[in-house]
């Protein structure tokens, strides 16, 4: 623990607490007429038009109801839902009574969800009507005190007891409220991070962390009252990346898509004249195809998209640029609320030629203010310089970075005594402060004492016309310690081509970008790449399956 020096007391009101409900209270007074549009069309509902004043009144009603139902400070309330107005309101009503909103990813295995509600000791469960069967399964494994179904209806077939219906419940309560002052260091929301091993780990976000993160991220995205913000990232993914908290704070029109698909999202962007939206490439790529199909001459020059991934596909970025939209690459993690860096251009970058600027867009971006960062050599533990060449694991700390996981002994594996969170991402930081991931630390391949980036190999393989998907893993080797092994899913039109010819072509293709010793010894062809319950490539499973591949090859060449 670092020593804190006591200086001269300030004359500022430092006892004033940063609380989430104050964001909405501010919006109801200053930005009361600004719209909140909620789409429930794919959930059997309609399109709902409200404003921040109406949303605030509904939040007051629900907070009053929660207190009557016995929800108090330090309680946890779980939620299963989609990006609509009732979920958005729950951020403020639940945290406003001092409780914690525990967000459940409906794509997780039921055993993982059961673990989360038990580990967090969730008192109640809010759920969308489309997720009643999942809620019933959880109710068999955890004793919730009550359930609130988020629906327009006042009666639905359900085994849940006791059950309340959101709209019926808030009818009975006043639309005004005297809010308590909540210690800003208290948790307001929680998400559980899903890795490839073990049960999920809980991250409990304080009011203070969420608001400081919101202020910095809003500045980095230049959010202002002329914007229209579409919340694509699911709320249960790190609070939907937290940008939506900035909408009521800065008077930005907020559009909530509910359940969605690429066609649904593309139409919303066109009809609502959206100017900013965060999403993963898995959503942005098919959405780009929809734009091309429905309106070949579409002009989206006012649209900026925030993308989060190891490396955004340049083809996707160029594709959006051709229809006027700008893709901004950002990097973060559940443990960092999530923003750590964002790729905005310094003047030095704007002086580069066009191709060099495109190459630069692959980087994860500038480390943002509020995040203290360093690179640590994974072999020696020594800090490495910011020179764009020296490889190290990124360590970060700051006011919206974890100091521990919630009641989890695994915290010591990830957080140092002086507050550095080890991200597990290996890369470089250049002289201008731009971070670039080269690989997950556990996915780096150490061959003959030299490091090989599996991510870089995968990125180049994916550019070959034969390849639909590619993954590279490190496999034990009798001479070199480890060697890269590539596993490739071919596009349908190339599956009939002789595999030895394809392997030779792919290796030759890689030699255009890598030294011979960096190229995988073998390239195997598989039908499907295994993934975890949250859609990440399950390299752990692949490493187990192929761990002695080269050893067996040595015995039986």
User: With contact defined as beta carbons under 8 Å apart, do 352 and 359 qualify?
Assistant: no
- Strand positions, DSSP E, 244-313: 253-256, 276-279, 304-308
Mean pLDDT to the nearest integer, 333-350: 97
Mean pLDDT to the nearest integer, 314-328: 93
pTM tops 0.85: yes
The Cα diameter of the chain in Å comes to 77
Catalytic annotation present for 451? yes
User: With contact defined as beta carbons under 8 Å apart, do 257 and 212 qualify?
Assistant: no
Cβ neighbours of residue 226 under 8 Å, at least 6 residues apart? 275
- Whether 556 has a pLDDT exceeding 70, the answer reads no
User: With contact defined as beta carbons under 8 Å apart, do 260 and 42 qualify?
Assistant: yes
Residue 250: its H or E element:
helix 246-250
- Whether 196 has a pLDDT exceeding 70, the answer reads no
Which CATH homologous superfamily contains domain 444-555?
ANL, C-terminal domain (3.30.300.30)
Q: Return the pLDDT at 440.
A: 82
Closest Cα partner for 165 from 132, 119, 207, 209?
132
Residue 77: its H or E element:
strand 76-80
- Whether 335 has a pLDDT exceeding 80, the answer reads yes
- Whether 423 has a pLDDT exceeding 60, the answer reads yes
Instruction: Please pick, among 446, 495, 507, 513, the residue that the annotation labels catalytic.
Output: 446
Each residue's pLDDT tens digit, 495-513? 999 999 999 999 999 999 8
Q: Return the pLDDT at 355.
A: 94
- Neighbouring CB atoms inside 10 A of 140's CB total 10
Where in the chain is CATH 3.40.50.12780? 16-32+43-205
Where in the chain is CATH 3.30.300.30? 444-555
H runs (alpha helix) in 69-227: 85-96, 110-119, 132-139, 166-171, 207-220
Cβ neighbours of residue 502 under 8 Å, at least 6 residues apart? 466, 490, 494, 523, 525
Percent of the chain past pLDDT 70, that is, above it, reads: 98
Each residue's pLDDT tens digit, 243-278? 999 999 999 999 999 999 999 999 999 999 999 999
Instruction: Please pick, among 193, 272, 442, 495, the residue that the annotation labels catalytic.
Output: 193
User: How sure is the predictor about 554, in pLDDT bands with cuts at 50, 70 and 90?
Assistant: low
Instruction: Please pick, among 184, 335, 393, 458, the residue that the annotation labels catalytic.
Output: 335
User: How sure is the predictor about 310, in pLDDT bands with cuts at 50, 70 and 90?
Assistant: low
Task: For the chain, report the end-to-end CA distance as a whole number of angstroms.
Answer: 55
CB under 8 A, 24+ apart: contacts of 551-554: 551/476, 551/477, 551/478, 553/522, 554/478
What are the φ and ψ backbone dihedral angles of 215, each rounded to 5 degrees?
-65, -45
Cβ neighbours of residue 183 under 8 Å, at least 6 residues apart? 17
- Class in CATH terms, 16-32+43-205: alpha beta
Instruction: Please pick, among 112, 451, 480, 532, the residue that the annotation labels catalytic.
Output: 451
Query: For the chain, how big is the Rg over CA atoms in Å?
Result: 25
User: How sure is the predictor about 533, in pLDDT bands with cuts at 50, 70 and 90?
Assistant: low
Catalytic annotation present for 335? yes
């Amino acid at each position: 623990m670092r020593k804190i020096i006591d200086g001269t007391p300030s004359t500022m009101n430092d006892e004033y607490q940063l609380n989430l409900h104050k964001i909405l209270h501010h919006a109801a007074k200053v930005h009361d007429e600004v719209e909140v549009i909620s789409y429930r069309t794919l959930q059997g509902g309609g399109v709902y038009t409200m404003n921040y004043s109406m949303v605030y009144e509904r939040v007051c009603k629900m907070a009053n109801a929660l207190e009557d139902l016995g929800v108090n400070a330090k309680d946890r309330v779980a939620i299963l839902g989609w990006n609509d107005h009732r979920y958005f309101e729950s951020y403020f009503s639940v945290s406003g009574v001092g409780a914690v909103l525990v967000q459940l990813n409906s794509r997780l295995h039921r055993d993982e969800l059961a673990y989360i509600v038990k580990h967090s000791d969730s008192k109640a469960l809010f759920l969308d009507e489309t997720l009643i069967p999942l809620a019933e399964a959880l109710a068999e494994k955890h004793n919730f005190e009550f359930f609130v179904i988020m629906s327009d209806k006042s009666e639905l077939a359900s085994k849940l007891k006791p059950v309340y219906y959101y709209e019926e419940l808030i009818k009975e309560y006043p639309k005004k409220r005297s809010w308590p002052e909540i210690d800003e260091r208290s948790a307001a929301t929680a998400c559980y991070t899903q890795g490839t091993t073990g049960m999920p780990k809980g991250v409990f976000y304080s009011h203070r962390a969420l608001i400081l993160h919101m202020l910095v991220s809003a500045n980095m995205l230049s959010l202002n009252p002329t914007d229209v913000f579409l919340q694509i990232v699911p709320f249960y993914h790190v609070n939907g990346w937290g940008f939506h908290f900035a909408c009521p704070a800065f008077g930005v029109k907020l559009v909530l898509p509910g359940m969605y698909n690429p066609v649904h999202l593309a139409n919303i962007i066109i009809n609502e004249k959206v100017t900013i939206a965060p999403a993963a490439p898995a959503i942005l790529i098919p959405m780009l195809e929809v734009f091309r199909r429905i309106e070949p001459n579409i002009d989206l020059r006012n649209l900026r998209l925030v993308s989060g991934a190891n490396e955004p596909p340049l083809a996707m970025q160029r594709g959006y640029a051709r229809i006027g939209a700008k893709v901004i690459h950002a990097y973060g993690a559940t443990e960092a609320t999530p923003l750590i860096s964002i790729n905005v251009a310094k003047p030095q970058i704007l002086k580069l030629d066009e191709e060099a600027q495109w190459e630069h867009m692959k980087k994860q971006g500038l480390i943002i203010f509020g995040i203290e960062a360093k690179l640590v050599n994974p072999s020696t533990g020594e800090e490495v310089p910011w020179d764009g060449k020296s490889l190290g694991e990124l360590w970060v700390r700051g006011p919206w970075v974890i100091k521990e996981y919630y009641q989890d002994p695994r915290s010591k594996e990830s957080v140092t005594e002086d507050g550095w969170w080890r991200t597990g991402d290996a890369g470089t930081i250049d002289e201008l402060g731009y971070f670039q991931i080269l690989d997950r630390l556990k996915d780096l391949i150490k061959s003959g004492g030299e490091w090989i980036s599996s991510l870089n190999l995968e990125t180049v393989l994916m550019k070959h016309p034969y390849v639909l998907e590619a993954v590279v893993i490190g496999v034990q080797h009798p001479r070199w310690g480890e060697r890269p092994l590539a596993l490739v899913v071919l596009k349908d039109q190339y599956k009939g081509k002789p595999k030895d010819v394809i392997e030779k072509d792919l290796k030759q293709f890689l030699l255009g970008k890598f030294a011979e010793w960096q190229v995988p010894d073998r390239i195997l062809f598989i039908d499907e790449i295994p993934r975890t319950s949250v859609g990440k490539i399950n390299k752990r499973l692949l490493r187990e399956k192929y761990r002695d591949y080269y050893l067996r090859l040595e015995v039986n060449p």
